[in-house]
Amino acid sequence: MSTSGIVYRPRRLRATPRVRRLVAEHRLHAADLVLPLFVKEGITEPVPISSMPGQVQHTEDTLRDAVAAAARAGLGGVMLFGIPAVRDARGTQAEAPDGILQRGLRIAREGVAAVEQDGRPGPVVMADTCLDEFTDHGHCGVLTDGPDGTAVVDNDATLERYATMAVAQAKAGADVVSPSGMMDGQVAVIRDALDDAGFEHVAILAYSAKYASPFYGPFREAVDSALQGDRRTYQMDAANAREGLREADLDLAEGADVVMVKPAGSYLDVLRGVADRSDVPVAAYQVSGEYAMIEAAAANGWIDRRASVLESVLGIKRAGADIILTYWALEIAEWIK
Ligand code: PBG
């Protein structure tokens, strides 16, 4: 033993940038990152989203540019959300062949095909498969009278709508459909519908453990949401971790190709639990409010923006995410390249 009496000195592996780089257990890679994008019908200029500084509602033209930028940056995927000009109680535009989300998907596929001509893979094109952007009441499904007379989302009637919507998205060129409405049985019904329509090759990324969260607040502005009230009869209660694992198990049993936890930052325990039991890739969604918090604190000079962004995303990776949806995907890809 040395005269100091200290045997173990972990600081040795922290002493220089080069040794720190060598021993890093986790690294971010552009191909792990998915950029969520919003495309809005009937606008001629992109509309900034005030609660998500740096993010916009895209026109079809600027969506094309954004997908091209994602491709150049080597991102793993893009996740598309559509904002229709007209809404109704059933969310009819969600399945219209020429609905805004389907148009966006076709544009994204063209963008991907263009980069793939150069022989390298472009981003995977994903679609949010949910009705809330398309209904005039803002809920994720169709409504019926609940036990106490108030309107609730009708699970099984909504499943039929998701099946039709998923097939419309597949026809428009989605590589991946992403049911995010937390209806029971949604993965199985969508899998059946896709297979029946000849889309066995289209994958399902299931929003499996999706919690009712105030951190979706800025997203509501991003999609001009009409929602009154909340989603607590279908999205999960923040108090429940075990239930999140059960939701992931059910989606795995129904045939999900990827399971996701959302939000990410306040559910890292659930993410770790899902990662430990899943034999398919695990995704996490760093949501709009997580983005807004860091942007706001950084804009005030209270935290270092870049370091905070990188730490927040690395924490999600460390907790077990193979795939991370984040509004900073493009910027992070620039920083780490
Ligand atoms: C549902 C959906 C939502 C988000 C992604 N898909 C909103 C909700 O469930 O209320 C939120 C994403 C975010 O906040 O960044 N279409």
Residue 146 has pLDDT above 70, yes or no: yes
Q: What is the pLDDT of residue 118?
A: 84
Average pLDDT score, the chain: 97
Mention every residue, 6+ apart, whose C-beta is less than 8 A from residue 282: 258, 259, 260, 261, 271, 274, 275, 320, 321, 322, 323
Report whether residue 287 contacts ligand 1, using a CB cutoff of 6 Å.
Answer: yes
Q: How far is Cα 286 from Cα 274, in angstroms, rounded to an integer?
A: 16
Please give the average per-residue pLDDT across 157-185, as a whole number: 98
Report whether residue 95 contacts ligand 1, using a CB cutoff of 6 Å.
Answer: no
Q: What is the pLDDT of residue 148?
A: 84
Report whether residue 254 contacts ligand 1, using a CB cutoff of 6 Å.
Answer: no
Q: How far is Cα 73 from Cα 251, in angstroms, rounded to an integer?
A: 31
Which of 35, 216, 260, 327 for mutating ligand 1's site (highest number of atoms within 8 Å of CB)?
216
Confidence of residue 232 (pLDDT cuts 50, 70, 90): very high
For the segment 44-93, what is each residue's pLDDT rounded down to a tens digit?
A: 999 999 999 999 999 999 999 999 999 999 999 999 999 999 999 999 99
Report whether residue 132 contacts ligand 1, using a CB cutoff of 6 Å.
Answer: yes
Q: What is the pLDDT of residue 302?
A: 98
Lowest mean pLDDT among 145-149, 221-225, 271-275, 320-324: 145-149
Confidence of residue 149 (pLDDT cuts 50, 70, 90): confident
Please give the average per-residue pLDDT across 127-138, as a whole number: 97
Report whether residue 128 contacts ligand 1, using a CB cutoff of 6 Å.
Answer: yes
Q: What is the pLDDT of residue 104?
A: 98
Rounded to 10 deg, the angle between the 60-72 and 329-336 helix axes is 30
* Alpha carbon of 216 to ligand 1 centroid (Å): 6
Position in ligand 1 atom list of the atom nearest CA 207: 6
Confidence of residue 1 (pLDDT cuts 50, 70, 90): low
Confidence of residue 296 (pLDDT cuts 50, 70, 90): very high
Position in ligand 1 atom list of the atom nearest CA 181: 1
Please give the average per-residue pLDDT across 134-145, as a whole number: 96
Please give the average per-residue pLDDT across 134-140, as a whole number: 96
| pLDDT > 70: percent of the chain | 100
Which H helix or E strand runs over 254? helix 242-254
Report whether residue 219 contacts ligand 1, using a CB cutoff of 6 Å.
Answer: yes
* Alpha carbon of 117 to ligand 1 centroid (Å): 33
171 among known catalytic residues: no
Which of 129, 132, 227 for mutating ligand 1's site (highest number of atoms within 8 Å of CB)?
132
210 among known catalytic residues: yes
Residue 2 has pLDDT above 90, yes or no: no
